[in-house]
Structure 1
């Protein structure tokens, strides 16, 4: 299938696979799609190592990175960023999460704090932090950089274009797309509310044609609610030049999400997700768990803004994941991760390359059927 996206990126299939796991990125790319690594999940040194590994696996095939560059975020002293941000976290919030873990019987943290990078990663979710990650990314063979949570900084666009790198941006509303176009992006990702992670409130089938209408020839990718070939074909029918998929890879063997969470995915229905600020401080779709029920209680504090909320719970989630992996029932009840409404279609764990090929084959079959229908 040749579209404006495949021509722009030089790939076989108009399918972008976004994930924090380098093995997923490599598998999607090697199957003819376009893998994109969630770079904001890493420190600069970690990102450098991950990109080296990806490049060894894909052997020159194109791939990209995605960054979180929020417009609004808590600020601290640049010279003591982590300490100054942590000082803004109220004692009320610390007490709440401590009591919650005690209530659910999650063991105390035995982790060596000298090995912890969660605060550093969270504190760097800002334009300055993104620039440090870009320094690393631009030293590698990436061909696209995508950004979310707001228009890309002007220097990001200029720097990428000077290096011949495509700039993509995720949008959740027509007005967001207009601002991204004004910023000079090359690809728009119309992410509907069905999607996992940070998302708005407009459905993919409504949002995609709205964005296509104003894109002025730029490729538009549909995102949210796309995990099968039929859904991919539907996106192309809406005028998209391809699809951007994230949640589907959480059902892959290569994805690094802990197994207890994946088992919860396999048991979930499409109505078992919700948009919540309790992980990042911004509305993000995730699997509903006892964690969200606790934050909905009348005595619960309001979630903090980015990056304070992820700094509050960074080590908390490590404790929950570790305890859940050990079979702790309270931790399993609390455990969750970002995922979209397509979770209801998960039946078994599969290889990311197989998922890619199955989606493409299913899309072709559906398009042929529609062609026959149109000619009948």
Structure 2
């Protein structure tokens, strides 16, 4: 298949695989797509290690990174951790403490937090993002994507200077117009079906709207795409390819805890929810007892990003650890970001096989449509 996306990166399949799992990223690129690593899952030093490893695996094939640059954050890098923790209300800390204990999870000292959680919160603060961007551009990346908010000038300017494609995820036409004005090279029209931070417009409606607005700028479709049929539909809507995230959560290489993968496989497409309780911004995830507790009438309102993210990451480290130890309450709380395609999850497959299966099914669908056009003679 040849599209504007395959031509732009010299890849074989018009598919971008977004994941926090380095092995998934490597396998997608090796299979002919473009793997993209979620950089904000790591601190700068760890990101450097992971990108070095990916480059050793892909042997010159293109890959990219994705960062989160929210329109506004609380505090700045110089005083981030201490100042942010001081801004988390005691009411919220007590609510999460009591929630964890209600489900049999040791709460520990939530006010102090954990280093790993702090590192990831730094990754969504302005100076923290710049540190991750510096690491990314020190490697041979082909793409850098901004998944939240308008692409800042320093990101676009550096991408153009260093020959790296700058992409941006958008959830409506207004966002797309801002990104085009900022000078991005590639738009990702992410429908509400997607996992993680999403808007409220469905992929089927959003994609052609963004394609028309973008003109010569390539557009990828995202949200609700985990099969070749859905990939063919995206191409029919005018997209140059697809951006897939949730499908890799059901891959062999994905690093999501096993108990969460089992919950995914048992879930239906209606078992997800857009909630601010994990990051402070609306993000689609698997509904669990965690969300039920935050929806109680006496629960506090979730904080903004990155305060809610800091509070929640502390809790989720404890929940995942307890669930792996067999604590039933922790299992009930367990969740992760995932899109509505979770209802299609079956047996785990290697990431490379997922790419191959999607490409083959997409080609078969397109051939079938040609037969329809020609009255069965193809």
Question: Would the TM-score normalized by the shorter structure come out above 0.5?
Answer: yes
C-alpha separation between the residues in 2 aligned to 1:235 and 1:114? 42
Aligned residue for 1:80? 79
Q: Aligned to 1:297, what secondary structure does the other structure show?
A: coil
Q: Which residue of 1 aligns with 2:271?
A: 272
CA distance in 2, matches of 1:218, 1:108: 48
Contact 2:190–2:221 (Cα < 8 Å) also in 1: yes
Task: Give the Å deviation of 1:124.
Answer: 3.1
Q: Which aligned pairs between 1:27-42 and structure 2 lie closer than 5 A? A: 27-42=27-42
SS in 2 for 1:87: helix
- SS for the counterpart of 1:117 is helix
The one-character-per-residue Cα deviations of 1:186-237 (angstroms, maximum 9, x if unpaired) are: 1000000000000000000000000000112111000000000000000000
Post-superposition offset of 1:110: 10
Structure 1 residue 115 displacement after superposition: 7.2
- Match of residue 57 from structure 2: 57
Partners of 2:135 and 2:123 in 1: CA distance: 14
What 5-or-longer segments of structure 2 have no aligned partner?
none
Please tell me whether the aligned partners of residues 268 and 343 of structure 1 are also in contact (alpha carbons under 8 angstroms).
yes
Partner of 2:15: 15
CA distance in 1, matches of 2:85, 2:48: 27
- How far residue 108 of structure 1 moved from its aligned partner, in angstroms, is 4.6
Give the secondary structure class of the aligned counterpart of 2:84: helix
Alpha-carbon distance between aligned partners in 2 of 1:115 and 1:204, rounded to the nearest angstrom: 37
- Inter-CA distance 107–232: structure 2 relative to 1 (3 Å threshold): same
TM-score normalised over the length of structure 1: 0.97
After superposition, the C-alpha distances for 1:158-190 in whole angstroms (9 at most, x for unaligned) are 111100000000000011100000000010000
* Alignment coverage as a number of residue pairs: 374
Contact 2:42 2:119 in 1 (8 A): no
For residues 292 and 135 of structure 1, the distance between their equivalents in structure 2, rounded to whole angstroms, comes to 36
SS, match of residue 253 in structure 2:
coil
User: Once superposed, what is the RMSD of the aligned Cα atoms?
Assistant: 1.4
CA–CA separation in structure 2 for the residues paired with 1:38 and 1:107: 29
Give the match's secondary structure for 1:222.
strand
1:104 aligned partner: 103
In structure 1, how many angstroms separate the alpha carbons of the residues matched to 2:312 and 2:113? 17
Q: Which residue in the other structure is 1:25 paired with? A: 25
TM-score (norm 2): 0.97
| 1:127/1:153 contact within 8 Å kept | no
Checking the alignment, whether the CA contact within 8 Å between 1:9 and 1:62 is kept in structure 2 is yes
Q: Deviations over 1:112-140 (max 9, x none)?
A: x8972211321330232111111101110
Which deviates the most, 42-51 or 102-111?
Answer: 102-111
Question: Using the alignment, how far apart are the partners of 1:295 and 1:73 within structure 2?
Answer: 22
Q: Secondary structure at the match of 2:87?
A: coil
- 1:193 aligns to 2:192 (yes or no): yes
